[in-house]
Structure 1
């Protein structure tokens, strides 16, 4: 069996048995293809059946010298471990050479969040007198007002918006469906966008139900949304490292700060585990710590 054959089998397994999202699936397969290239070019075309633990360690060490982030290194190892676990359980190999691989120790990742003034600055940087600007305004408000992933935003269908009951139906990771409440403000903005802006687009027949369209009348790409956010952030003078996902983090953080129950936030974000959502309680704890260190009379900085 060649690398290509086993990678294809692995891809089918992840897609249909593990129900991986397209983005996660692409990342895992890309990682294994890089290992395949290394095996063919540096290890004299060694096969997935005979590659050893030492070979894998050598490969990881080589990658670590290229100044990739610890998070990227951790994902490579996760991909490799999943691949060889699959080969072992599929009885292609009698052993699992990746079983003892260890990834870098990662600290708790606390995502950047935007304050409400930050968000208002970004919105103020949008040229509201153009159709493109009005579309981009709607994009920002939906990201922040509904806590969507960028993949969910670009796949959003008009038919999945219920203006009467004020909610949107989201098909999230792993084809899991959830219903996210739509604030009156965001709902009115969407109605206006659909009736006054989107109606001017020449729509590709395959995308007649797609909410946000590009200039060709088809669905927008993730990259375009990233570029829109970056351009607006730079224009607004907000110095934080911001991506579309930052609005999702801000959505959850602001809900928690204003007293929302963590279980409701989990449901609205579409997290399968409450553990993932609990990161926002850590953000709140960090904020409380800063308040205590700044204002408590026993803090030496205040006493000086």
Structure 2
């Protein structure tokens, strides 16, 4: 509290409080005849009563959508890994920049949400992200009783008619077995990409994400049981040399996977290579990870992806697909689908939730192709 004398000789007393919805400081005042100690006490009492009255007058229906969205994001970020924050930030920022700052959350209905997600000028993938953020914001608003209903959950993204281009996109997400053999052979052909070949083949058999693969440590490997614990992912935002292992992407990503004979052979070979490197390299970083570079630091994702692209260009007939570490994970989904492994079993192995769009797309695409081949088989009989 502070005071100042005004021209008529009286004293004005001031205090500030934080508006719970705008999170901005608000100033209030009372005017009294003097500045004695008793007057100061009276002013403090009056100001506190005035603040209480102002706060009681506010109701959740006065909350602004923009303020609730900011409030949600500040709280939600505390539950996320840095990589997840980075992937969500663009969708959140789009909404924060789009929402009219005067829109009260009580006035938002399904039509309001629908108008946002019907924007033809935004990529479908970005719209899906925005819709997901809106779902979470209004879930938060319902929990805190800002509103009683979540209109975002009832709004629907426009259905898209699948085109030949869409089907081609699904094809480009995985490698046929002949294509996989070609790229692996090229990686194994050169000493400087040999380790990348081992990692690529391991992912094509195991189905793990690259972040999960490079986070695997010796103590995750149980050779006698023929299993490996995939219980985390490497946080690359803090640098590979720190070897910071964090929780996996989802609950379903936390899993113990049975290993094929070839997977065991790959792990054993990586461990043997590292043991040799430790003996001859005095600067070797013994961090306990399995898939590492010749320095002992986990293989970097960007470096791995660049190696793949360069290896592809060296092929006699380069594969017309976008190469990244995920293509090996998706190739396993395709291979298992072709061999009639149930979708649920595939998702359990690769650590996908049972609502995973990518796995379902690949599985459906492959199995549809298998159905169409039935007629070819019958006609050739």
Tell me if TM exceeds 0.5. Answer: yes
Q: Which has the higher contact order (CA 8 A, sep 6+)?
A: 1
Match of 1:185 in 2: 262
Going from structure 1 to structure 2, the CA distance change for 1:144 and 1:271 (only over 3 Å counts) comes to: same
Match of 2:126 among 38, 53, 72: 72
**CA distance in structure 2 between the partners assigned to 1:274 and 1:61 by the alignment:** 23
Kindly state the Cα deviation for residue 193 of structure 1 after the two structures are TM-superposed: 2.1
- Local SS of the residue matching 1:168: strand
Is the contact made by 1:252 and 1:265 (CA closer than 8 Å) also made in structure 2?
yes
1:104-147 deviations in Å (ceiling 9; x for gaps):
325598453322211111012225442x4121011111111111
**Cα RMSD after superposing both structures:** 3.6
Q: For residues 375 and 174 of structure 2, what CA distance do their matches in structure 1 show?
A: 21
Q: 2:212 aligns with which of 152, 173, 177?
A: 152
Q: Name the TM-score, length of structure 1 as normaliser.
A: 0.74
8 A contact 1:225–1:244 mirrored in 2: yes
| Residue number among 197, 208, 231 corresponding to 1:137 in the alignment | 197
TM-score w.r.t. length of structure 2: 0.61
Does 2:167 correspond to 1:90? no
Q: Separation in 1 of the partners of 2:342 and 2:139?
A: 38
The alignment status of 1:174 with 2:250, answered yes or no, reads: yes
Greater strand content: 2
Total equivalences in the alignment? 282
Could you tell me how far 1:22 is from its partner in structure 2?
A: 6.1
Please say which structure displays the higher CA radius of gyration. Answer: 2
Tell me, yes or no, if the aligned pair for 2:207 and 2:329 is still in contact at 8 Å. Answer: yes
8 Å CA contact 1:10–1:86 kept in 2: the answer is: no
1:221 Cα deviation from its structure 2 partner: 4.4
Evaluate the alpha carbon distance shift between residue 92 and residue 251 of structure 1 in structure 2; reply closer, same or farther with a 3 A threshold: same
Q: How far apart, CA to CA, are the structure 2 residues paired with 1:50 and 1:275? A: 33
Partner of 1:219: 298
Where does structure 1 lack aligned partners over 5 or more consecutive residues? 299-304
